[in-house]
A and B are shown apart, each in its own frame.
Chain A
């Protein structure tokens, strides 16, 4: 039996009724009086010089109130493209009109004169010298050239000795790597532990493969939207569907060069984010500029098509991976060279390439990663950014090794998993995490140990790890005369976090969950709060809430001590009242009575404050098993069983945790099997749900979720972030199941029917 009464229980979410009645206010539901409709004018080419923008015809259209271009950005910070566009859909101007259809018509009437340039969409083509160059100084050395160049630089710096012979020898060695000058590079990341060459030499089995993962869209159901209203004093109010209002406030202030205090951001209910709704994105600044120009509120809302052409999706990548192991199953070395498709700007999560390490003891590891420019929109976070891609490569290749040495994939993983106290990079040692418990749990729940497979059926397993982030947050708690508890904070709810915060506070103040209400403030009123993402909220805001409730708890005991004339040590708070310990007859005073009493005390009302920024957090593990059946004729894969376990530390609201596991797993499934943003010389060619298929209920069976609880030392009640881990292993889980079913390893996602048929054919089927 749990020692807790509210945390650890499934309760209806705080926003339950408003979400099922249509009352919840999302970004596009905000409609201040006199509001105009904004529309962004976008490039019709993927790469072109802009020779001119003519707004004359559009201005004549009745109902058009403003048209802005980069000339209307007083700070000069880039909001719209001017002389060159780098992708289809890049913003060039924006229109505000009295009606959304008029705004759209006006946008079409704006004449853009283009000089079309050659386009590059494939990362492996973009790094070649023959590729069109998107930006100026963007040439980098590959890993081998880089090492040699570093040695040359080091020797050249030593002026006291003559190294000219060594240097000329090294310089001629550079000629061995003529293909290792990469072009269109936006960023690079390198790390190394041990000696991979030695590790491979000592290995009995070495496997090398190239994995190709497509760019996919977060596909939150609510397209990006912002409403802005600039008043005559210069004060700007922005309603935004966002994961982080405070970052929007600072982003707008920075872009427009105005003080923070001049901007108030109101976070609306959010129609999904998954990492794609962070910071200032696409719609916010144009809405503000249009409102400043017209003196009226303006809403800028993207269509689904605009989401696909000018969203900030998850980057695709190409990962060349090599792994070596002994024949008795010990992994000795792993090396990765990755090229991430960053699009027209830098920002792809290339650092996540290190996740090829997984949760295994790998003594020798080398990772080289590059971000590559192509003619696409930029990228952003998507649920455990970068991890699903890297883990797809890592976990696919583990199965290939297991097969070659004749070990069961689950046993092979269990044998190589890190344990508490094992060394990890950056000097620390491995904390206690339920790696083995979680894998064992999914294997048991799925029936792995006595699994059976019919013809063309197969089983796949994979694990994925992620570490929740943390960030600053503040919470106030007040207790009212009727014994009810109010919470005030500034963090956005992502699918249940307000509920978890409420549960924690109810637990500490020993009141029923129903007597707690939670209010979110805007950036003018609420204490600073980090963005809701990176599996941050439960960890950060949970800890913050705990501190606030404990502070209020302290004040409650002080008041009771005064009122009952008893020492605090003889008092305890339980069941919503302060009781005198072992009093006979029992003596107590309720929270409501204490709140009423507090109003006439010197110390004043019961207000608890919690403020928190960081504590080390522990990794989380997701482990999944799928059973599939592949039709070798059509190439279609049907999922027969999908089981997902996760070490969540402690499930504050088990039903909400299951929901995160199920949802994340299905997003991973979709990336493995269905989704890919496709590009041609004209840019994105599948900007809608007919051509970019996301799963519906008809595509999948029930996902079985298994909660594993190995408490995290610094988490509230041992909880850790649960949102991101479940997407991380599914890509490999599916590929491994398909391999088991048809005997062919598919290394390029998605595993769509035509790809399966081609793979079978090229393997002589």
Chain B
């Protein structure tokens, strides 16, 4: 299959790649760029484990063809902590016990970060609905919501 030239900007680094048009952004991030923090849970856009941020928006990377992401700013879970300092959302997931097996956690953290960046002042109910595209099988969501609300509060206070 003919390959296409794609320029991916991932966590600030540029990657010039030749890739088949059938490859998803998820596959390229994991198999070509080597960033395996983004997870594959369903490959149909239903579980949210592969959520990354593309130009400020949370997207399920299994539903995006990599060729369409060329030239866009992509942030993955690996790009969230800066200078050894965890992002408030990451720290909140630790403090509240918002993860167990951790497989859905990168997706949840990225989806939560995008929501908080957009508007941290949401009610628990609003966050519950906004995160309805991410599946967690371990926690029952109670502690995830605690984490997201705590992180939102912190971001809101420092904004």
Q: Taking beta carbons and an 8 Å cutoff, which residues of A are in contact with B? A: 10, 12-13, 15-26, 28-29, 31, 100-101, 218-223, 269-274, 303-304, 494-496, 655-656, 658-659, 662-667, 688-690, 694-698, 700, 702-703, 705
Contact = CB atoms under 8 A, between A and B. Distances in A.
A512 B76 CA distance: 34
Chain B CB within 10 Å, residue with most, of A13, A22, A219, A274: A22
A304 B94 contact: no
A688 B135 CA distance: 13
Nearest to A304: B42
B87 to A, nearest CB: 9
Interface string B74-95: 0011101100001000110111
Contacts of B23: 101
8 contacts: A12-B95, A22-B77, A221-B138, A223-B40, A272-B103, A690-B44, A697-B128, A702-B145
Contacts of B34: 31
A147 B78 CA distance: 65
Nearest to B129: A698
A301 B57 CA distance: 29
Nearest to A660: B100
Nearest to B35: A22
A304 B44 contact: yes
A222 B90 CA distance: 21
Given A663-B100, A697-B145, A271 B39 contact: yes
A688 B42 contact: yes
B135 A659 contact: no
Interface string B118-154: 0000001001110111111111111111000000000
A270 B94 CA distance: 18
B16 to A, nearest CB: 20
A16 B92 CA distance: 11
Given A22-B35, A690-B46, A665 B140 contact: yes
Main secondary structure of the interface of A (DSSP, over half): loop
A667 B139 CA distance: 9
A23 B37 contact: yes
A696 B107 CA distance: 14
Nearest to A16: B94
Contact of B100 (A12, A17, A496): A496
Contact of A221 (B37, B101, B109, B142): B101
Contacts, number: 176
B71 interface: no
A495 B133 CA distance: 23
B102 A271 contact: yes
B29 to A, nearest CB: 11
Chain B CB within 10 Å, residue with most, of A12, A24, A221, A494: A221
Nearest to B101: A272
Given A19-B102, A222-B103, A698 B132 contact: yes
Interface in B10-40: 20, 22-23, 27, 30-31, 34-40
Given A17-B86, A22-B78, A220-B137, A662 B47 contact: no
B43 interface: yes
Contact of A271 (B44, B46, B81, B103): B103
Interface in B89-116: 90-91, 93-97, 99-106, 109
Nearest to A655: B97
Contact residue range for chain B?
Answer: 35 or more
B62 to A, nearest CB: 10
Nearest to B107: A221
B136 A221 contact: yes
A692 B144 CA distance: 23
Contact of B101 (A21, A28, A271, A688): A271
B158 to A, nearest CB: 19
Given A22-B76, A22-B77, A269-B102, A274 B86 contact: no
Contacts of B94: 12-13, 16-17, 20
B97 A697 contact: no
Contacts of B135: 221, 689, 694, 696
Contacts of A273: 101
A26 B40 CA distance: 11
Contacts of A270: 101
B56 interface: no
Nearest to A657: B97
Contacts of B133: 696
Nearest to B47: A689
Chain B CB within 10 Å, residue with most, of A10, A20, A662, A700: A20
Given A20-B109, A24-B102, A271-B101, A666 B141 contact: yes
A360 to B, nearest CB: 28
* A-B pairs, 3 with minimum CB distance: A22-B37, A271-B103, A666-B140
B150 to A, nearest CB: 14
Given A25-B36, A659-B97, A274 B46 contact: no
Given A22-B37, A655-B97, A663 B139 contact: yes
B67 interface: no
A13 B132 CA distance: 26
A659 B20 CA distance: 42
Contacts of A16: 94
A494 B47 CA distance: 21
Given A221-B136, A667-B137, A19 B105 contact: yes
B39 A697 contact: no
A221 B46 CA distance: 12
Contacts of B90: 20-21
Contacts of A269: 101-102
B61 to A, nearest CB: 13
Nearest to B81: A21
B137 A659 contact: no
A689 B42 contact: yes
A334 B53 CA distance: 57
A561 B1 CA distance: 74
B49 interface: yes
A496 B98 CA distance: 12
Contacts of A703: 140, 142
